[in-house]
Chain A
Amino acid sequence: MPLRLVPRLAPSRLALYGAPLLAVAATVVFGYVLFLAIGRDPLTALHAYFIAPVNSRFGLSEWLLTALPLTLIGLGLAVGFRANVWNIGAEGQLLLGAIGGGAVALALWREGVPGTFLLVCIAGALAGMAWAAIPAFLRTRFNANEILTSLMLIYVADQLLGYLVHGALRNPQGFGFPESRLFSAEAIMPNLLSGTRLHVGWLLVPLAVLAMWFLMSRTVTGFRLQVSGEAAGAAAYAGFSQKRMVWLSFLLTGGLAGVVGAMEVAGPVGQLLPEISPGYGFAAIIVAFLGRLSPVGVLLAAHLLALILIGGENVQMLGVPVAVAQLFQGVLLVALLASDVLVRYRVVRLGRLGRGSA
């Protein structure tokens, strides 16, 4: 092979921020070729995908609404990934948040308590944390791989939601359809921008970004998380508890995913349905990586992923399968991981390897 990778002494800052842009560019090029290959005019299709959906006030609000869950979950995952804790089950924690929040909304259905939506959100966060506590416990107590356990729990959560909307939480006047009652007005997230579906939950976005920035760069806990992830041995020597990092990462992400789930059912949906999330929990993994595990990066990446999700819905009009959104997500992540090589390595021609670097 004529080319060889040589480790850099320090990560390249240019590549660190350039790699995500390169990956996005590669994804757009892939989209161009894909649309061409299936006989659509690529520029029209790309316009319909990335521009048209957000080319109006309503479109922009939908963009923010879709980026909300991705930002919140992505922030939680970024903290975990920094500590080398692999929570892949945010989707399940989101579903539990929907169930917990939904159960509270339905329990208070005829009480007319003002501000019920706040209770719904809190219940969602607690339910998400409880679900996330399972893989955290199994990892810290029994050494069980958290990737597999948290992932398995997604399917369990999915069946649990199905069980509840087919049974205990089904609308008694719903003619047997697997869905709950519509929540009462008090349980619905108050609107933030008239004429749109954007709700007050969006205010959590700037708050969470700030809080996460503070946690990661201004607290000892953030420092400990970082050290645990980058040098487990050093962290152990310094007396940082690895178990605490696992618990912290899982509870944080579980809580955020739970709130997201609750806000999803108490927001745009307004009731419990068998299908709640278009894969926010998985897309948020890409968000965390693409955003370089930094709060502002996650915020930007969440809006890109939100655009990919909304665009996928929009190009259905052109007869393009909606699954194109997931395909783009996969291509984006592969391209990002591939471009990341430039952060830690220099590409050197083999003949010149001998001098200095070997």
Chain B
Amino acid sequence: MIDTALVLAILVSALRTATPLIFAALGELVVEKSGCVNLGVEGMMLVGAVAGFAIGLTTGNFALAFLVGALAGAALSLVYGVLVLFLMVNQYAAGLALTILGGGASAFWGQRWQGQNMRGLQPVEMPGLSQLPVVGSVFTRLDIMVYVALAAAALIAWALLRTRLGLVLRAVGENHDSAHALGFSVIRVRFAAIAFGGAMAGIGGAYLSCVITPLWIEGMTAGRGWIAVALVVFATWKPGRVVLGAWLFGLVSVMQIHGQGLGLAVPSHILAMLPYLVTILVLVLISRDATRIRLAAPGSLGKAFRPTA
């Protein structure tokens, strides 16, 4: 018999583990809705992680830490923006370059804090929800950013479907030539989307270094940026499904920590493979139906846009 306390503990860690993925994948979703694939999420998360950690450690002000993490991610994403939007660089290549650059830059500047830890962002008690029977204690053990991530998902879903801004973004992503002919600035919209994606990846990275494992280790994202990219495909470009997907990954990821408690006699190295194997599995399941992917993906995704006249 598995006891309730363990189930609740797993739930709490799964929700926390999913949070950086939600931030990063939502950002990437907006970028892809504008028609660009940015494979540099891993790099942007890393610079966000090191910047957020530096601020959290020196000031203890986590609002500032997340802000600076977002700025760091956005700053790095500008490199991608310039390469892809102005210099017509292949999007895959530019994203890979960003991952390598972000990994190098974060490891270089983060050397002085390598392996240091700090007292991370503390949980808050959610009024109302924490009074619920059985599961109430979950809502005393989560930090504010878990809720912010969910609010962001709702806000982005609403903005994409119900606002003029969302409509313009989708128009640019679906058919950049038509959008251009209608008088929208494809470059400006995409640049803004890319910077937003960078900021969200930065926040996701800062969440890792400020909350989940409040410490800095180089390369600490360990592929989460890539999982975020996969999540967008998995979610067929829908914000709500990004959240569901991230929760699934959160649950799979924490098996490594809670495996023993659940009596799973599987070595920890094998459990640590699970998130990556599950990513591959869901990619296969979702990509099998090529038509479905083609219909769901933004029409101009991955294509270069060169303004004429």
A46: Cβ under 8 A from any B Cβ: no
Q: B112 — nearest CB in chain A belongs to which residue?
A: A321
CA distance in complex: A2, B68 (Å): 33
B101 touches A333 (CB 8 A): yes
A160: Cβ under 8 A from any B Cβ: yes
Give the contact stretch, choosing among B58-66, B194-202, B223-231. B223-231
8 Å CB contact of B101 from A142, A167, A330, A344: A330
Interface string of A263-305 (1 = CB under 8 A from B): 0000000000000000000100110010000000000000000
Q: What distance in Å separates the Cβ of A304 from its nearest Cβ neighbour in chain B?
A: 15
B265: Cβ under 8 A from any A Cβ: no
A149 contact set on B, CB distance < 8 A:
280, 283-284
8 Å CB contact of A155 from B96, B102, B222, B270: B222
A190: Cβ under 8 A from any B Cβ: no
A344 contact set on B, CB distance < 8 A:
88
Knowing A163-B270, A286-B100, A321-B107 touch, does A5 contact B287 (C-beta < 8 A)?
A: no
A32: Cβ under 8 A from any B Cβ: no
CA distance in complex: A135, B229 (Å): 17
A321 contact set on B, CB distance < 8 A:
107-108, 111
B269 touches A334 (CB 8 A): no
B146: Cβ under 8 A from any A Cβ: no
Q: What distance in Å separates the Cβ of A222 from its nearest Cβ neighbour in chain B?
A: 22
B138: Cβ under 8 A from any A Cβ: no
A323 touches B108 (CB 8 A): yes
B101 contact set on A, CB distance < 8 A:
327, 330-331, 333-334
B97 contact set on A, CB distance < 8 A:
330, 333-334, 337
Knowing A143-B290, A148-B279 touch, does A330 contact B105 (C-beta < 8 A)?
A: yes
B269 touches A142 (CB 8 A): no
CA distance in complex: A143, B83 (Å): 28
A331 contact set on B, CB distance < 8 A:
101, 104
A49: Cβ under 8 A from any B Cβ: no
B89 touches A144 (CB 8 A): no
Chain B: interface residue total (CB-CB under 8 A): 51
In chain B, positions 250-276 with a C-beta closer than 8 Å to chain A are: 267, 269-270, 272-273, 276
A226: Cβ under 8 A from any B Cβ: no
B48 contact set on A, CB distance < 8 A:
none
CA distance in complex: A329, B107 (Å): 13
CA distance in complex: A78, B279 (Å): 27
Q: What distance in Å separates the Cβ of A20 from its nearest Cβ neighbour in chain B?
A: 14
A145: Cβ under 8 A from any B Cβ: yes
A327 touches B104 (CB 8 A): yes
B100 touches A163 (CB 8 A): no
In chain A, positions 156-215 with a C-beta closer than 8 Å to chain B are: 156, 159-160, 162-163, 166-167
CA distance in complex: A99, B289 (Å): 35
CA distance in complex: A181, B110 (Å): 35
B233: Cβ under 8 A from any A Cβ: yes
A151: Cβ under 8 A from any B Cβ: yes
B290 contact set on A, CB distance < 8 A:
143
8 Å CB contact of A159 from B79, B233, B272: B272
A144 touches B103 (CB 8 A): no
A145 touches B233 (CB 8 A): yes
B288 touches A143 (CB 8 A): yes
Interface string of B221-255 (1 = CB under 8 A from A): 01100110110010000000000000000000000
A162 contact set on B, CB distance < 8 A:
269
B229 contact set on A, CB distance < 8 A:
148
B309: Cβ under 8 A from any A Cβ: yes
B88 touches A5 (CB 8 A): yes
A51: Cβ under 8 A from any B Cβ: no
A345: Cβ under 8 A from any B Cβ: yes
CA distance in complex: A325, B100 (Å): 11
In chain A, positions 79-109 with a C-beta closer than 8 Å to chain B are: 86, 88
B270 touches A358 (CB 8 A): no
B93: Cβ under 8 A from any A Cβ: yes
In chain A, positions 236-272 with a C-beta closer than 8 Å to chain B are: none
A324 contact set on B, CB distance < 8 A:
104, 108
A341: Cβ under 8 A from any B Cβ: yes
8 Å CB contact of B79 from A156, A334, A340, A345: A334
Q: B277 — nearest CB in chain A belongs to which residue?
A: A156
CA distance in complex: A138, B286 (Å): 12
B184: Cβ under 8 A from any A Cβ: no
A25: Cβ under 8 A from any B Cβ: no
B233 touches A328 (CB 8 A): no
A145 touches B104 (CB 8 A): no
Q: A328 — nearest CB in chain B belongs to which residue?
A: B104
Q: What distance in Å separates the Cβ of A16 from its nearest Cβ neighbour in chain B?
A: 15
A333 contact set on B, CB distance < 8 A:
93, 96-97, 100-101
B270 touches A159 (CB 8 A): yes
In chain A, positions 321-358 with a C-beta closer than 8 Å to chain B are: 321, 323-331, 333-334, 337-338, 340-341, 344-345, 358
Point out residues on B near A: beta carbons under 8 Å.
39, 43, 79, 82-83, 87-90, 92-94, 96-98, 100-105, 107-108, 110-111, 218, 222-223, 226-227, 229-230, 233, 267, 269-270, 272-273, 276-277, 279-280, 283-284, 287-288, 290, 293, 306, 308-309
16 A-B Cβ contacts within 8 A?
A: A5-B88, A5-B306, A143-B293, A144-B283, A149-B280, A151-B226, A152-B230, A154-B223, A159-B270, A323-B111, A325-B104, A327-B105, A338-B83, A340-B87, A340-B89, A358-B309
Closest 8 A-B residue pairs measured CB to CB? A330-B101, A326-B104, A323-B107, A327-B104, A163-B269, A321-B111, A333-B97, A341-B87
